[in-house]
Structure 1
Amino acid sequence: MTVCEVCGNDYPRGFEVRIDGEVHSFDCVECAAHLLAPTCENCQCRILGHGLEASGRYFCCAHCARTRGVTELADSVA
Protein backbone atom coordinates (compact mmCIF):
# COMPACT_ATOMS: atom_id res chain seq x y z
CA MET A 1 0.00 0.00 0.00
CA THR A 2 1.13 3.53 -0.76
CA VAL A 3 0.19 6.45 1.45
CA CYS A 4 -0.27 9.63 -0.59
CA GLU A 5 1.84 12.46 0.79
CA VAL A 6 -0.73 15.04 -0.34
CA CYS A 7 -4.08 13.65 0.83
CA GLY A 8 -2.97 10.82 3.14
CA ASN A 9 -5.05 8.20 1.32
CA ASP A 10 -3.69 4.67 1.76
CA TYR A 11 -4.20 3.21 -1.71
CA PRO A 12 -3.15 -0.21 -3.05
CA ARG A 13 -2.48 1.17 -6.55
CA GLY A 14 -0.43 4.18 -5.53
CA PHE A 15 2.77 5.13 -7.31
CA GLU A 16 6.07 6.87 -6.74
CA VAL A 17 7.64 9.73 -8.64
CA ARG A 18 11.38 10.28 -8.50
CA ILE A 19 12.43 13.87 -9.17
CA ASP A 20 15.55 15.85 -8.25
CA GLY A 21 16.86 12.94 -6.18
CA GLU A 22 13.70 12.71 -4.07
CA VAL A 23 10.98 10.06 -4.04
CA HIS A 24 7.33 11.12 -3.66
CA SER A 25 4.32 8.80 -3.13
CA PHE A 26 0.84 9.51 -4.50
CA ASP A 27 -2.52 7.82 -4.89
CA CYS A 28 -3.51 9.71 -8.06
CA VAL A 29 -2.14 11.99 -10.77
CA GLU A 30 -4.15 14.92 -9.38
CA CYS A 31 -2.24 14.80 -6.08
CA ALA A 32 1.08 14.45 -7.93
CA ALA A 33 0.29 17.51 -10.05
CA HIS A 34 -0.79 19.47 -6.98
CA LEU A 35 2.60 18.93 -5.37
CA LEU A 36 5.01 18.78 -8.32
CA ALA A 37 3.67 20.83 -11.23
CA PRO A 38 5.04 24.37 -11.53
CA THR A 39 2.66 27.29 -11.07
CA CYS A 40 2.16 30.07 -13.62
CA GLU A 41 3.72 33.25 -12.29
CA ASN A 42 0.81 35.30 -13.62
CA CYS A 43 -2.46 33.39 -13.16
CA GLN A 44 -1.30 30.83 -10.56
CA CYS A 45 -2.70 27.82 -12.47
CA ARG A 46 -0.78 24.54 -12.38
CA ILE A 47 1.19 24.01 -15.58
CA LEU A 48 0.34 20.47 -16.69
CA GLY A 49 1.53 20.72 -20.28
CA HIS A 50 4.75 22.07 -21.69
CA GLY A 51 4.25 25.62 -20.48
CA LEU A 52 6.86 28.30 -21.08
CA GLU A 53 9.98 29.27 -19.16
CA ALA A 54 12.07 32.45 -19.27
CA SER A 55 15.06 32.82 -16.95
CA GLY A 56 13.60 30.49 -14.33
CA ARG A 57 10.13 32.08 -14.48
CA TYR A 58 7.28 29.75 -15.48
CA PHE A 59 4.13 30.63 -17.41
CA CYS A 60 1.19 28.60 -18.73
CA CYS A 61 1.03 30.59 -21.98
CA ALA A 62 2.60 33.49 -23.89
CA HIS A 63 -0.27 35.80 -22.85
CA CYS A 64 0.59 35.34 -19.18
CA ALA A 65 4.29 35.85 -19.95
CA ARG A 66 3.55 39.13 -21.79
CA THR A 67 1.40 40.27 -18.87
CA ARG A 68 4.53 39.97 -16.71
CA GLY A 69 6.78 41.75 -19.22
CA VAL A 70 8.32 38.72 -20.94
CA THR A 71 7.88 39.41 -24.64
CA GLU A 72 10.24 36.90 -26.32
CA LEU A 73 8.01 33.84 -25.75
CA ALA A 74 5.35 32.49 -28.12
CA ASP A 75 2.77 29.70 -27.78
CA SER A 76 3.34 28.45 -31.34
CA VAL A 77 4.93 29.53 -34.56
CA ALA A 78 2.71 29.74 -37.64
Structure 2
Amino acid sequence: MARCDVCGNDYDKAFTVTMPHASGTFDSFECAIHALAPTCAHCKCRIIGHGAEHDGVFYCCANCARHSGVKGIDDRI
Protein backbone atom coordinates (compact mmCIF):
# COMPACT_ATOMS: atom_id res chain seq x y z
CA MET A 1 0.00 0.00 0.00
CA ALA A 2 1.02 3.61 -0.45
CA ARG A 3 0.70 6.53 1.92
CA CYS A 4 -1.02 9.76 0.84
CA ASP A 5 1.35 12.74 0.85
CA VAL A 6 -1.40 15.06 2.12
CA CYS A 7 -3.39 13.18 4.77
CA GLY A 8 -1.08 10.25 5.49
CA ASN A 9 -3.72 7.60 4.83
CA ASP A 10 -2.19 4.24 3.91
CA TYR A 11 -4.45 3.13 1.05
CA ASP A 12 -4.36 0.19 -1.34
CA LYS A 13 -5.83 2.28 -4.19
CA ALA A 14 -3.50 5.26 -3.88
CA PHE A 15 -2.28 6.82 -7.13
CA THR A 16 0.60 8.99 -8.24
CA VAL A 17 0.32 12.24 -10.18
CA THR A 18 3.42 13.44 -12.00
CA MET A 19 3.67 16.97 -13.40
CA PRO A 20 6.66 18.82 -14.89
CA HIS A 21 7.45 20.59 -11.60
CA ALA A 22 5.63 18.53 -8.95
CA SER A 23 4.42 15.05 -8.17
CA GLY A 24 2.88 13.12 -5.33
CA THR A 25 1.03 10.07 -4.13
CA PHE A 26 -2.59 10.54 -3.07
CA ASP A 27 -5.52 8.53 -1.76
CA SER A 28 -8.15 10.79 -3.37
CA PHE A 29 -8.58 13.51 -5.96
CA GLU A 30 -9.41 15.84 -3.07
CA CYS A 31 -5.91 15.43 -1.64
CA ALA A 32 -4.31 15.74 -5.10
CA ILE A 33 -6.19 19.00 -5.73
CA HIS A 34 -5.18 20.34 -2.31
CA ALA A 35 -1.53 19.64 -3.05
CA LEU A 36 -1.21 20.41 -6.77
CA ALA A 37 -3.97 22.75 -8.02
CA PRO A 38 -3.04 26.42 -8.38
CA THR A 39 -4.71 28.97 -6.11
CA CYS A 40 -6.74 31.92 -7.41
CA ALA A 41 -4.81 35.15 -6.86
CA HIS A 42 -8.04 36.95 -5.89
CA CYS A 43 -10.28 34.64 -3.84
CA LYS A 44 -7.67 31.99 -2.93
CA CYS A 45 -9.84 29.02 -3.98
CA ARG A 46 -8.20 26.04 -5.69
CA ILE A 47 -8.52 26.15 -9.46
CA ILE A 48 -9.78 22.79 -10.67
CA GLY A 49 -11.26 23.93 -13.97
CA HIS A 50 -9.83 25.94 -16.83
CA GLY A 51 -9.50 29.15 -14.84
CA ALA A 52 -7.94 32.24 -16.37
CA GLU A 53 -4.37 33.46 -16.60
CA HIS A 54 -3.01 36.95 -17.15
CA ASP A 55 0.70 37.82 -17.09
CA GLY A 56 1.49 34.54 -15.32
CA VAL A 57 -1.10 35.10 -12.57
CA PHE A 58 -3.89 32.52 -12.21
CA TYR A 59 -7.53 33.23 -11.41
CA CYS A 60 -10.43 30.80 -10.96
CA CYS A 61 -12.64 32.87 -13.28
CA ALA A 62 -12.81 36.08 -15.28
CA ASN A 63 -14.77 37.77 -12.50
CA CYS A 64 -11.88 37.35 -10.04
CA ALA A 65 -9.44 38.54 -12.71
CA ARG A 66 -11.56 41.68 -13.28
CA HIS A 67 -11.73 42.33 -9.51
CA SER A 68 -7.93 42.22 -9.56
CA GLY A 69 -7.79 44.86 -12.30
CA VAL A 70 -7.40 42.67 -15.39
CA LYS A 71 -9.07 44.28 -18.40
CA GLY A 72 -10.56 42.54 -21.45
CA ILE A 73 -11.02 39.08 -19.93
CA ASP A 74 -14.22 37.06 -20.16
CA ASP A 75 -15.31 33.53 -19.23
CA ARG A 76 -17.03 33.15 -22.61
CA ILE A 77 -16.14 34.41 -26.03
TM-score interval, smaller chain: over 0.9
Residues 22-48 of structure 1 show CA distances to partners (whole Å, capped at 9, x for unaligned) of 431000000000010001100011010
Counterpart in the other structure of 1:18: 18
Closer, same or farther in 2 for the Cα pair 1:49/1:27, shift >3 Å?
Answer: same
Q: How many residues align?
A: 77
Normalized against structure 2, the TM-score is what? 0.94
Give the partner amino acid of 1:64.
Answer: C
* Offset of residue 72 of structure 1: 2.4
Normalized against structure 1, the TM-score is what? 0.93
The ranges of structure 1 where at least 4 consecutive aligned residues each deviate by more than 4 angstroms after the TM superposition are none
Q: Which runs of 5+ in 2 are unaligned?
A: none
What value does the CA root-mean-square deviation take over the aligned residues? 1.0
Give the partner amino acid of 2:32.
Answer: A
Q: Which moved more, 1:33-42 or 1:21-30?
A: 21-30
Identity of aligned residues (%): 51
